[in-house]
Structure 1
Amino acid sequence: MPTLSDFFYTQFFLRIPQPSASFTNKTIIVTGANGGLGRETVKHLIHLGAEKVIFACRSRSRGQQAKREIEAQLNCKTNLVDVRELDLESPASIKRFAEWAARSLPRVDVLINNAGIHANKFKVVYDTERTLAVNNIGTFLLTVQMIPKMQATARTYGITPVITFVASALYDIAEYPAQHGEDIFTWFREESHVNFMNQYNLSKLLQLYAMIKLAALVDSTSDRSSSIAVNALDPCFCKTGIISESTGLARVLFKIFEAITARTAEEGARLVVQTAAAGRETHGRYMRAGAVQAYAPIAADEQRATYVWNALCRRLEAIQPGIMQNLC
């Protein structure tokens, strides 16, 4: 678990350089792009020469507003950013987006899975609690559908596309349930099993388990001409609006803590872009403070990772039959 001294170092003393890698000719998809880390990530990508940035967000109108503001601020071409609706709580929305990308985009070089939620009210989505639904099931429902397009991009252009998950160091303090039945997602369908102080942390732990297994599976089913790099990062604690759904005293206390300790979203976005620009040396790895970091023991549990991955695959296949063929 990150120590208190480690937290204060990354928040106050860590120097985060401006990203310098070129994204010339590249097409990048950024989910949750209309605010916080996503929006700042888009701005960095534009500075670094991206050919096309797909601004994927739940609200098309808010996305269009953010696009106009970015274009005015950066004085960039109006056709560089393409706003597309993507709701990770809707299988139909995810399928429409993935089919559009496969049909309409000549290439997809990078997928940045930035969208996520920190719910504070119980709601069932995908037959599980909403935080797990969005941060895990919806995110991987999109990712698995994007893999064939990214493998085709690798073969056609002779590059290594990158799938980057915006993770969190909070995975290390997640409380994994001692009992969860045959399916961990089904377990959290019951409100009595949910602890909202832990749910976001747990979702990020499950996300890392799934990312590690996905990276291994992509390797086993791809030849060298269609290889993809899959990685994750902690962008430090930043002002991102992740608790936008919180209310009352908890929100007030969080905002005070955020004002004192959080880095800007722009600084966190530097780390996102650095990770998205990395190559195979980061495949299956977790980046923190700009460098590859060993997984904490809780994330290195192979048996648990396999269990979570299998539960996730069953859920994805139930939502969209045949989807796991993309990994065969």
Structure 2
Amino acid sequence: MQLFITLPYPASDLSGKTIIVTGSNVGLGLEAARHFTRLNADKVILGVRNLEKGETAKKSIEETTNRLGVVEVWQLDLASYESTKQFVKRAEGLRRLDAVVENAGIATMQYQVAEDNESTITTNVVSTYLLALMILPKLRETATKFNTTPHLTIVCSEVHAFTSFPEKNSPNIFKTLSDKETANMADRYRVSKLLEVFYTRELAARVKRSGKPEVIINYLNPGLCHSGLAREAGWRLAIIKFLFARTTEHGSRTLVHAAEAGPESHGQYLSSCSVSDPSPLVRSEEGAKAQKQVWDELSQKLENVQPGIMTNV
């Protein structure tokens, strides 16, 4: 039970490194960015939707770490493919890029459309991997130029295990998820996290076989933490969080750990700063079939959004 687990306090030296943390103006992302800055990173980029809130976060980090000129605030709205593309294009101009922590996400009970999907799927899944695959060449460039092993880390959740994922039986999973008439929004966040698990596992396996410069790709569960993500979830979760949730800082240690973890973490699910097993569904034959379908469908969507992107794998 997470209540009785003390996570290691980040203490490594990140001198010279450049790190991107998305969704970092509040919550886990903010506290992870604070750790990276404290640990002497050369540059920490906050990828945020709201620049004003991002500047407030930057000021907070500077005041608590006494490090000026390290944190930068960049615009990133994962509900927009164009915003995601522009963010990556800006990142391509960096001297180096050592880690990308994809923490941004939404949890909503309201059905609304962003781009060509329900907004949770666009934000948590499609744009998350649009960014990941577009930025892979920059990470590999850093690996070659600086003789290092960069990280691409996806912030997932243990709730990926709490859905039966009925959409897996659909001939087209993403089309079904976009159907307003059948959308189960109470289950949508859990499904989005399961889709992240499937795609990250497949991506890591294919990258490993590519023969290209090594990038460690992993995905993590920060546990139940105090954050603003589930503010629509109601009073029951609020009570559970009051009793059992990790502090935001404590939970953020899992993000820092994943962004520094060794090659044994490649393709792995990290929970409480250790390699763990994902859900039984993920590890089953049924899960393997669903993973392949998710890979094929999402890869085609990404290719439509950014032609040629799959050659980056």
Do both proteins adopt the same fold according to a TM-score greater than 0.5, normalized to the shorter chain? yes
Task: Decide which of 148, 158, 165 is 1:169's aligned counterpart.
Answer: 158
Local SS of the residue matching 2:181: helix
Q: Aligned residue for 2:79?
A: 89
CA displacement at 1:178 relative to structure 2: 5.2
Question: 1:175 touches 1:198 (CA, 8 Å); kept in 2?
Answer: no
Unaligned runs of 5+ in 1: 1-8
Matches of 2:168 and 2:98 in 1, distance apart?
40
1:35 and 2:26 are equivalent in the alignment:
yes
Local SS of the residue matching 2:220: strand
1:130 and 2:124 are equivalent in the alignment:
no
Local SS of the residue matching 1:191: coil
Q: Aligned residue for 1:158?
A: 147
1:66 and 2:52 are equivalent in the alignment:
no
**Measured at CA, do residues 178 and 115 of structure 1 come closer, stay the same or move farther in structure 2, by a change above 3 Å?**
closer
Matches of 2:149 and 2:167 in 1, distance apart?
39
What is the CA RMSD across the aligned residues, in angstroms?
1.3
Local SS of the residue matching 2:166: coil
Unaligned runs of 5+ in 2: none
Local SS of the residue matching 2:28: helix
CA displacement at 1:26 relative to structure 2: 0.7
Q: Aligned residue for 2:226?
A: 239
Q: What is the letter of the counterpart of residue 19 of structure 1?
A: P
Task: Decide which of 263, 266, 282 is 2:246's aligned counterpart.
Answer: 263
Q: What is the letter of the counterpart of residue 279 of structure 1?
A: G
**Measured at CA, do residues 235 and 48 of structure 1 come closer, stay the same or move farther in structure 2, by a change above 3 Å?**
same
Q: Aligned residue for 1:312?
A: 298
Q: What is the letter of the counterpart of residue 138 of structure 2?
A: K
Segments ≥4 residues shifted beyond 4 Å = none
Matches of 1:279 and 1:179 in 2, distance apart?
33
Q: What is the letter of the counterpart of residue 14 of structure 1?
A: I
Local SS of the residue matching 1:192: coil
Number of residue pairs aligned between Structure 1 and Structure 2:
310
CA displacement at 1:179 relative to structure 2: 6.0
Matches of 1:158 and 1:47 in 2, distance apart?
24
Task: Decide which of 190, 193, 203 is 2:179's aligned counterpart.
Answer: 190
1:14 and 2:17 are equivalent in the alignment:
no
The two structures have a TM-score, normalised by structure 2, of: 0.95
Local SS of the residue matching 1:21: coil
CA displacement at 1:76 relative to structure 2: 1.3
Q: Aligned residue for 1:119?
A: 108
Q: Aligned residue for 1:272?
A: 255
Matches of 1:74 and 1:38 in 2, distance apart?
16
The two structures have a TM-score, normalised by structure 1, of: 0.91
Q: What is the letter of the counterpart of residue 102 of structure 1?
A: E
Question: 1:128 touches 1:187 (CA, 8 Å); kept in 2?
Answer: no
Larger displacement relative to structure 2 (32-41 or 292-301): 292-301
Local SS of the residue matching 1:239: coil
Question: 1:172 touches 1:205 (CA, 8 Å); kept in 2?
Answer: yes
Question: 2:133 touches 2:312 (CA, 8 Å); kept in 1?
Answer: yes
CA displacement at 1:108 relative to structure 2: 0.6
Q: Aligned residue for 2:90?
A: 100
Local SS of the residue matching 2:21: strand
